[in-house]
Structure 1
Amino acid sequence: MTIILHDLVGTDPDRPFSPHCWKAAMALAHKGLPFERTNVCFTKVPEVEGGVSKTVPVIRDGSQVVADSFLIAAYLEETYPDRPSLFGGDGGQAMARFVESWTQSVLHAALGVIALKDIHDILAPEDQAYFRTSREARMGRTLEQVTERRDAEIEGFSGKLTPLRVMLKSQPWIGGSSPLFADYIVFGALQWARVTSSAKLLEEGDAVTDWFNRCLDLHDGLGRKVPAAG
């Protein structure tokens, strides 16, 4: 049975961009589970699966509906234990929680500024209005005021990747010898920026760039099938 992944898109249905939805997509592919993406725009999220969640991703696996990328990964791990592990045990799941916290508090905080206006511009008018209102309320500033920090965030972004860069000197993946869900968490953040923004955040020859390219090639090039923003 094909699993349904409700995925966030803008005006182009072939360019899903949510970092959390990318985490779920990579987790499904890691498990080797067939899945189908359904396109959801911001203003239609409350209609997904009867309003089960205020955000996507949401998956439907037969009669089971699960929201939140980490809970989706945990569900897949428990439901399909015979398929490749996403965590490599309880310790790996706990580690992934730390990676998620670091990614969202450090990387997402910067990328939310860098890609803010780019995301707004790829949305349909009704979604642009929602996005502007919700983000300005959250940030306490207009999109334009937030974007004034964009150049500074781009300049400082490489430094935020230092923990990952140092770790990659001793192992090829966050998961060790092979990728785990922790890798997909960080990948989702960088893929979010890659798909929405033309900002150059990764340098050729950097260990993080090499790791990200390996992630793009995983699962028959699932991530690379969506071209980078022009």
Structure 2
Amino acid sequence: MPRKLYTLCGTDKARPFSPHVWKTKLSLAHKGLAFDIAPVGFTEIPKLEEGATKIVPLLRDGEKLVKDSFEIALYLEQAYPERATLFGGEGGKAMARFVEGWSQMTLHPVIGRIAIMDIHDSLDPVDQAYFRRSREERFGQSLEEIAEAGRSDIKAFSTKLEPLRHMLKAQPFLGGDRPLFADYIVFGALQWARIISPHRLLAAGDVVFDWFERCLDLHDGLGRSVTAA
């Protein structure tokens, strides 16, 4: 049975935009594992695999179902130890946990505000209604008010990347000479922004821009297989 990766998409099923899905796509490619894509909208997720998840990515690998990008990476490392490592040992797992926390607490909220109307506008009508209702309940503001706050985040976004910038001055990837899952975590966030929003958050000449370009080229240019917004 071929592996199947359920991915979040809008109206255009060829443009998966979830940062967590992109972590998993690169993880599978890193391991050299073939997989098929199954694009779904927000409101389709609870119906997947007899209600197996409320989130994507969701990976079916034979009889095994795994959800959550970090749990999928841990599963792949355990199930395919003979293939290229995603963590490089226990220290790499601990580092990836820290990077994930930093990315989700620092980068994701800002990108979410900047791109919130772009995300909404990319969805099918049924998913637009769900997205507006759920996000406005979560934030206590209209999407338009959230987007207005996001405009002020664009110029300041570069400062959020200082820890990454500091590290990349000494090495080409967070993993050192080669990428590890920690790289895919941050790449997923920035790929999300690249695919869903026309706002350009990285400037040429920045070491983070150069790192992101290297990540786009990984695994036969998997990241570039979806063009920028």
> TM-score normalised to the size of structure 1?
0.99
1:149 aligns to what SS in structure 2?
Answer: helix
Please give the alpha-carbon distance, in whole angstroms, between the structure 2 residues aligned to 1:97 and 1:137: 29
Please give the alpha-carbon distance, in whole angstroms, between the structure 2 residues aligned to 1:208 and 1:118: 24
* C-alpha contact (below 8 Å) 1:8/1:18 kept by paired residues: yes
1:2 Cα shift?
2.5
Which residue of the partner structure matches residue 10 of structure 2?
10
Tell me the alpha carbon deviations over residues 162-219 of structure 1, each in whole angstroms, 9 at most, x when there is no partner.
1101111101100011000000000000000000000011001110000000000000
1:222 aligns to what SS in structure 2?
Answer: helix
* C-alpha contact (below 8 Å) 1:4/1:36 kept by paired residues: yes
1:224 aligns to what SS in structure 2?
Answer: helix
Tell me the alpha carbon deviations over residues 122-167 of structure 1, each in whole angstroms, 9 at most, x when there is no partner.
0000000000000111111110111111221101100000110111
Please give the alpha-carbon distance, in whole angstroms, between the structure 1 residues aligned to 2:176 and 2:63: 35
Please give the alpha-carbon distance, in whole angstroms, between the structure 1 residues aligned to 2:6 and 2:69: 11
> Which AA in structure 1 matches 2:224?
R
Aligned pairs for 1:15-26 within 5 A? 15-26=15-26
Superposed CA RMSD = 0.6
2:37 aligns to what SS in structure 1?
Answer: strand
2:152 aligns to what SS in structure 1?
Answer: helix
Please give the alpha-carbon distance, in whole angstroms, between the structure 2 residues aligned to 1:78 and 1:71: 11
Please give the alpha-carbon distance, in whole angstroms, between the structure 2 residues aligned to 1:199 and 1:164: 20
Please give the alpha-carbon distance, in whole angstroms, between the structure 2 residues aligned to 1:53 and 1:168: 36
Please give the alpha-carbon distance, in whole angstroms, between the structure 1 residues aligned to 2:59 and 2:139: 29
In the alignment of these two chains, the number of paired residues is: 229
Which residue of the partner structure matches residue 160 of structure 1?
160
> Which AA in structure 1 matches 2:179?
P
Which residue of the partner structure matches residue 52 of structure 1?
52
Please give the alpha-carbon distance, in whole angstroms, between the structure 2 residues aligned to 1:154 and 1:51: 37
Which structure 2 segments of 5+ residues have no match? none
Which residue of the partner structure matches residue 127 of structure 1?
127
Which structure 1 segments of 5+ residues have no match? none
**Residue 107 (structure 1) aligned with residue 107 (structure 2):** yes
Which residue of the partner structure matches residue 177 of structure 2?
177
Write out the 4+ residue segments of structure 1 that deviate beyond 2 Å after TM superposition. Answer: none
Please give the alpha-carbon distance, in whole angstroms, between the structure 2 residues aligned to 1:215 and 1:121: 27
